[in-house]
């Protein structure tokens, strides 16, 4: 675990107070690691999440801590997302990461079968008293008053149950709530913006909307529809890490920024390559993608990018 500064200059709650719609990079398994967070921060991303970390493994193993959680002093504001199903484990994990981050988030939304069967993720939306207890433990045990304790949820078919969950979390001291506007059973169905609005209207803490944010214009339209305080993007940022800066597709500068950051941070090739596959998907033809996807070394990727798209210097000349 690399250290960060002990006190970031302002808390995330101060950012909500400024009245702008916060733009947030979602927790993504394998993808929202330090190198990618460093990239999206260059392009107007306000807050980043780590990938979901299983709190029990994190506490049990130094190896898990070092591989799952890497940061640096520029990687702020940062929210560490945990999967947990008991209050003390979550609070203990929060205390470990608190000096290096700005808040922890409890995953109450992951719909994957392994997570649900282990008692993590979206099954927690059916356990409001447990969620309340977990939030309260974090608030009581982390001694930094600016440190946030948030939850990320999916919605119930019966929205009254979701509202009840959110109000219980608010009573326990939750800092803010991210709502993925789909049920645990829904995957690519349309986002229920009306449900997000209902939740926003039912609590006084900030609410973040998540789901189907693909372009900067979606940030504003989601805000208009729901009144939320921020939006969170996942696949949209994978496809275009410069999305929050208003680019329709990944600009060449962003692609080369990713190359530089990956080399500087020693990103494993598979991760480096996968991110570029996502970034180039909208701007390359199928034959080009076939060639690019088969490349197997960093030097081959760099040669391909230079030959196909040119360098940043070419843009300026």
Residues within the annotated binding site? Answer: 27-29, 81, 180, 234-235
75: nearest Cα among 265, 245, 300, 217:
265
Q: How far is CA 20 from CA 14, 114, 156, 300, in A?
A: 11, 37, 29, 42
Q: What's the rounded Cα separation, in Å, for the pair 297 and 168?
A: 51
- Binding residues for FMN, by number, are 27-29, 81, 180, 234-235
Report H helices in 185-241: 193-202, 216-226, 235-239
Q: What's the rounded Cα separation, in Å, for the pair 195 and 167?
A: 15
Active site residues: 110
Q: How far is CA 169 from CA 4, 97, 108, 137, 164, in A?
A: 29, 22, 12, 12, 9
142: nearest Cα among 107, 177, 175:
175
């Amino acid at each position: 675990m690399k250290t960060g500064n002990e006190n970031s200059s302002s808390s995330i709650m101060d950012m909500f107070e400024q009245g702008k719609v916060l733009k947030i990079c979602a927790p993504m398994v394998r993808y929202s690691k330090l190198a990618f967070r460093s990239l999206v921060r260059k392009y107007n991303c306000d807050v980043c999440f780590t990938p979901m970390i299983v709190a029990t493994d994190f506490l049990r193993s130094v190896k898990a801590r070092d591989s799952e959680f890497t940061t640096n002093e520029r990687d702020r504001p940062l929210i560490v997302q945990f999967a947990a199903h008991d209050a003390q484990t979550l609070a203990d994990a929060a205390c470990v990461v608190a000096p290096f981050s700005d808040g922890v988030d409890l995953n109450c939304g992951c719909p994957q079968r392994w997570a649900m069967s282990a008692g993590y993720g979206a099954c927690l939306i059916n356990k409001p008293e447990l969620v309340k207890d977990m939030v309260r433990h974090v608030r009581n045990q982390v001694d930094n008053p600016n440190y946030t304790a948030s939850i990320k949820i999916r919605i119930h078919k019966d929205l009254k149950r979701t509202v009840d969950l959110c109000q219980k979390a608010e009573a326990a001291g939750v800092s803010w709530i991210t709502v993925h506007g789909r049920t645990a059973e829904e995957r690519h169905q349309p986002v229920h913006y009306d449900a997000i609005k209902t939740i926003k209207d039912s609590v006084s803490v900030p609410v973040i909307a998540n789901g189907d944010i693909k372009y900067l214009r979606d940030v504003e339209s989601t805000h208009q529809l729901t009144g939320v305080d921020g939006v969170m993007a996942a696949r949209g940022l994978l496809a275009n890490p410069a999305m929050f800066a208003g680019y329709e597709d990944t600009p060449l500068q962003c692609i080369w920024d990713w190359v530089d950051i990956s080399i500087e941070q020693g990103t494993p090739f598979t991760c480096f390559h996968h991110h570029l596959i996502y970034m180039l998907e909208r701007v390359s033809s199928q034959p080009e993608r076939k060639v690019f996807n088969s490349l197997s070394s960093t030097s081959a990727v760099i040669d391909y990018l230079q030959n196909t798209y040119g360098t940043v210097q070419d843009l300026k000349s």
